[in-house]
Amino acid sequence: MSRKSERELVVRQFIQREEQMHHPGYDTELDFYEGVSDGRITDVYMELHDGYGEVDNPVRGVLSTNRIRNLRYHIIVTIAMISRFCIEKGMEQMESYALSDYYIRQLDETDTEDGLRDLHRECVKDYSTRMRNLRRSRVDSIHCIKAMDYVQDHLHENISLESAAKAVGLEKTYFCRLFTQSVGMGFPHYVMQEKIKVACRMLEHSEYSCTEISEFLAFSSGAYFGRIFKEFMGLTPMQYRHRSYGKHWNR
């Protein structure tokens, strides 16, 4: 970087501090991309309407003095990040890059603010839906697919076998047997597995305490959360955090 560029960077940082403008937290950004790549459609929809829909908010930085170009650049960055997170979670590289290229070309041909924002929302929903369908594709039973969707939409709650069976319209005993045969594990095990996945992401990318994570995922107690976490991961939550915090891109 040239001296002129260095000076410009220092000036920009000074102005941001004076105006109290900050880029969104690293943890917040990663949580959004993780939500899309996990196919957590409900969470993604909420975030689109609660902050991430304003992708060009000034706190995210100004990439161009031209309002339309600035919005377009921010959306392109978002698409590039999402495409790579989805590849990490199992989407074929060719599919992810082709999808990314398609939306970026659409952005290049769109010159209105409403059109660009619509494309941003469409792209995010498209990726998250494809990732959810990717997870579903390994299961034959439509009832089990519905149950898996039910779990993803209620991870912050206490999910029981009874509530899931009722949600998919099956008798509890039959549902339990069907889920084990179709998915390859019992329903309670699947619920805990999915909760522990979220707990791992929170330990890696956030500063929430173990107690807060336990409460967020509706575990009955912090001790129970710690025991279940160690059964799945072979480490206590704190050991996992010390080993993994902030190391997403080094995996």
**pLDDT over 50 (residue 16):** no
Tens digits of residue pLDDT in 141-186 = 889 989 998 998 888 899 999 999 999 999 999 999 999 998 889 9
List, as own/partner pairs, every contact residues 69-78 make where C-beta atoms lie below 8 angstroms and the sequence separation is at least 24, other chains included.
Answer: 71/113, 71/116, 71/117, 72/107, 72/108, 72/110, 72/116, 75/107, 75/116, 75/119, 75/120, 75/123, 76/104, 76/107, 78/120, 78/123, 78/124
pLDDT at 15: 43
199 vs 201: which has the higher pLDDT: 199
| pTM assigned to the model | 0.61
What's the fold here for domain 142-250? Answer: Arc Repressor Mutant, subunit A (1.10.10)
Delimit the domains of the chain by residue range.
Answer: 3-136, 142-250
